[in-house]
Amino acid sequence: MPLIDLTTVAAASREAGKGLGAFNVVQLETAQVLVDAAAAAARPVVLQVSQNAVKYHGGHLAPIGRATIEVAKAAEIEAIVHLDHADDVELIREAVDLGFTSVMYDGSHLPFEQNLATTIEVVEFCHAAGVTVEAELGEVGGKDGVHAPGVRTDPDDAADFVAKTGVDLLAVAVGSSHAMTERSADLDLELIERMAATVPVPLVLHGSSGVSDAGMVAAIRAGMTKINVSTHLNVQFTAAVREYLTANPDAVDPRKYVAAGNQVVRAEVERLLGLYAA
């Protein structure tokens, strides 16, 4: 299936009141697992390659990026290939040149005016290439290992930011935090409702790994659309690999223990996609 842009799929999900699952690609096998799970759930999926994943792959986007694009093209369902959490504008340009259909520019750590100016620059060249842009306003905690539930995005500031930049999706801080290994985040559902009523583009929830099933369903009903999950799947993958190696102490073939981890991830992604569409 040809690659599809995130703007179209996110708008349709928002209109239908359903969550759009976005999951991080760590290795090539991850991309295939995510596509297989989405096909089983009969739901679209966003395959995210983060700036940190690029660093993991030796600082080179092209190999994992091109491979993920090919997996998406071969998928039976709508698959979007998205550059996640990039604060490097040159990396964003490379992603656009490679054929990514969506990017996230993360200038949330910058002063507002600088974030605004750079986001406008990114939107201009991405839109000229037909590429969707997601941005972030209001720092989502956890990137430095600190859970910061007190940080919140102001709805009026968010609407102003979207109007001035022309971004297609906006990640907002509503109580979640990156890198949480326990699903204990307490989301501000009233704020999500106000944000959804004020901001004209689909909202993105980062740090969803720390949100319970019930919390996630409530967030989608309140107005969240794109749901980013990474750490939660990493926890499940690692536990399955540990279990396999404990049961098979003589195992040396990585295909076998990686497959054990991927099997668990596939099942969980399929379950989550069904949950988001409920």
Query: Considering the domain 6-276, what is its CATH architecture?
Result: Alpha-Beta Barrel (3.20)
Rounded distance between C-alpha atoms, residue 270 and residue 275, angstroms: 9
Q: Are 210 and 184 in contact (CB under 8 A)?
A: yes
pLDDT for residue 249 is more than 80: yes
pLDDT digits (tens, 9 = 90+) for 3-55: 889 999 999 999 999 999 999 999 999 999 999 999 999 999 999 999 999 99
- Is residue 148 over pLDDT 70? no
pLDDT tens digits, 122-146: 999 999 999 999 998 754 444 432 2
84 among known catalytic residues: yes
Domain ranges (residues) in the chain = 6-276
Across all residues in the chain, what is the average pLDDT?
89
Alpha helices in the chain (DSSP H): 6-16, 28-41, 51-56, 61-73, 89-98, 112-128, 155-165, 189-198, 213-222, 231-247, 254-276
Task: Please report how the helices 155-165 and 112-128 are oriented relative to each other, as an axis angle in degrees rounded to 10.
Answer: 40
How confident is the model at residue 113, as a pLDDT? 86
How buried is residue 1: exposed, middle or buried, by Cβ count under 10 Å (0-12/13-18/19+)?
A: exposed
Residue 56, Cβ neighbours under 10 Å: how many?
12
Catalytic, out of 36, 84, 106, 188: 84
